[in-house]
Amino acid sequence: MSRGFMEQVKTVQEKGSAEERVGAWMTDAPHAVTPEESLREAAEILVACGIDGLPVVDADRHVVGLITQSDLTRCYVRGVSPDSAVGQVMRRPVDMIGADRSITEAFRLKVSPLPVVDSRGVLVGMLTRAHILQAYSHNLVRLRKTEYTAETLSAVLESAYEGVVVCDAKGIIREFNDAYSRFLGKKRGDVLGKHVTKVIENTRLHIVVKTGIPEIGYIQRIQGQDMVVHRIPIWKEGEIVGAVGMLIFEGVTELYRILERKQELSRQVNEKAGFVPQPGGRREEGTFEQIIGQSEEMASVKRMARRAAAVPATVLITGESGTGKEMFAKAIHHASPFADGPFVSINCAAIPEHLLEAELFGYEGGAFTGARKGGKPGKFELAHKGTLFLDEIGDMPLPMQAKILRVLQDREVERVGGVSKHRVDVRIIAATNQDLEQLFKQGRFRKDLYYRLNIIHLYIPPLRERKKDIPFLLSRHLQRFCQRYNLPPKQLARETMTVLMDYDWPGNVRELANTVERLVCMAEGEEIRPQDLPPNFWGGGNASRPDQAAPPSPMDLVDDGSDLLTKVKRVAMERERASILRTLAEVGGNKAAAARQLGIHRSTLYEKLKKYGLD
């Protein structure tokens, strides 16, 4: 590398950005082998994953060695048995680096691949030369861009077709571009420093600053015209520091013309294809555009999911319960070459073990007592030329895992009671909220199936790790439930927003949606206040938890138009729902563990989750 290049790298290093740390560029949760595993097993992992080297770890995931493709090649040339233990030929000692160390320090080690460890010496990632070069390239581009970022932003504001206004946390206008000035007929110098309500009629920008809820695509009447506007809060370090308002069109009439033109083009295409639209159709669900999230964490997952959609490889989606794993599975399906085929899903934990095989592979007529005459196709056959989504794959019984592995290898299924095999062309997407690597170490999940499924791995972060998405999710669900129940629009008080932002959301997006639905239905007035929130948002305070509520008093059951039995049933159902929520939170969303703790069967738990709208 040239001297000038290294000098610029040093300049970047001195800026101390988190992007220069090894942890920002390494491959997370890398594959590893133990010293006792065979060279054959190591080679299979290297080939299946397309990597150059594997760290060798002990039971505590401390790195004790390294084995690479070149090591295996030398062993082959020397006639070393492929059944020999990795520990006999692995490299040691091994150079390692901390996840918090700089990329420049990693470059100086001149080792690839390089194991990355945390402060306890536990393996957390792998770093290659390609990662280091990518980091250098990114930081150089970023450094050069900072020299003219301010000028570029100013030029964008002034040349934007849309009107743009920026106000601070007090609603005072700090930026006002030429497009907005021309539309209102006011000079920029005359409006800067004034409160937004004094300049723009019917504005809600100051309200967005208070609530933190973005308002996308709202109609605002300005100077006698209905305008389409966006109002977006600006967050910095967990605080609202201002808001941006944008005029997207010069009037609703322009939007109507665009929609009319789109409908006309759609009609012409349908006529040429001989397609006659059927009444009652609804918008297709399950696209990346419908996955709400503006944070860098979600943007990264979406980018990887879009790349995964372009190829037919198997995808494993992991994440806590309620993070939206099935939404990602549907989005991948609709963006993939299998989009014209069916999307078929099955919850591996909700179906009793003795019925799961027939559900997956189908059965022939007379295969068992009560079998349908003529038989029934299984999920694999139903998903032919489409996508099969195996939800809660971590709860699948071991005997069934072996049969799933066979189907993944041969792409053929044999019905229960059948003698012939059916060829299937299916894209497999699996999901779980469990750590499959830990499960196969415990003997509860097949290692070979894990490697078959884990070709492309998507991890969806919990809501507590991407709190920037909470305002957008709240806005979307507030609007959705108000429309669903035909209620006037509601908004969150600033204090309510603060509580919701500070909450950890153990049930993730599903819990957030259920909470918003409850608030929309139960809160009086158009503003949702902190006292409208359920008791679980006040943990550690004076409010009692739902599961600690006192028994209903005789006054609670006084007749107000409903019969006594109905009231008792309602109280019992509320307590059961609270108990299920509490148990799920205690076990980290693991439904199998929750069912055991509640003393009920998994299938019974899934029925109750569906009954209470918690699925």
Q: What is the pLDDT of residue 140?
A: 67
Q: What is the pLDDT of residue 357?
A: 86
Q: What is the pLDDT of residue 45?
A: 87
Nearest alpha-carbon partner for 523 in 560, 489, 483: 489
Separation between Cα atoms, residue 293 and residue 508, nearest integer Å: 13
Separation between Cα atoms, residue 319 and residue 433, nearest integer Å: 5
Q: What is the pLDDT of residue 509?
A: 93
Helices of type H across 362-446:
379-382, 398-410, 436-441
Helix (H, G, I), strand (E, B) or coil at 541: coil
Helix (H, G, I), strand (E, B) or coil at 165: strand
Alpha carbon 368 to chain centroid, angstroms: 41
Give 231-279 as a DSSP string.
EEEEEETTEEEEEEEEE-SS-HHHHHHHHHHHHHHHHHHHHHHT--PPT
Global pTM exceeds 0.85: no
Q: Kindly give the interhelix angle for 69-77 and 39-49, rounded to the nearest 10 degrees.
A: 130
Q: What is the pLDDT of residue 113?
A: 86
Q: Please state, in angstroms and as integers, the Cα–Cα distance from residue 512 to each residue in 324, 508, 614, following that order.
A: 12, 6, 11
Rg (CA), the chain: 29
Q: What is the pLDDT of residue 541?
A: 39
Helix (H, G, I), strand (E, B) or coil at 431: strand
Domains, the chain? 3-146 (3.10.580.10), 154-253 (3.30.450.20), 289-454 (3.40.50.300), 462-533 (1.10.8.60), 545-615 (1.10.10)
Q: What is the pLDDT of residue 279?
A: 39
Q: What is the pLDDT of residue 605?
A: 82
Nearest alpha-carbon partner for 468 in 313, 237, 206: 237
Q: With 0-12 CB in 10 A as exposed, 13-18 as middle and 19+ as buried, what is 196?
A: buried
Q: Kindly give the interhelix angle for 398-410 and 353-361, rounded to the nearest 10 degrees.
A: 10
Q: What is the pLDDT of residue 430?
A: 95
Provide the token pair at 196: 């937004």
215 - beta bridge partners? Answer: 231
Q: How many helices (H) and strands (E) does the chain have?
A: 23, 22
10-residue mean pLDDT profile of the chain (615 residues): values are 39 46 84 91 84 89 90 87 90 89 82 87 87 75 59 60 85 89 86 93 91 84 79 85 79 53 58 46 64 86 90 93 93 91 91 85 73 80 93 91 90 84 92 91 91 93 91 90 88 88 90 92 88 77 39 43 54 76 77 78 79 76
Q: What is the dihedral of CA 87, 90, 91, 95, to 10 degrees?
A: -70
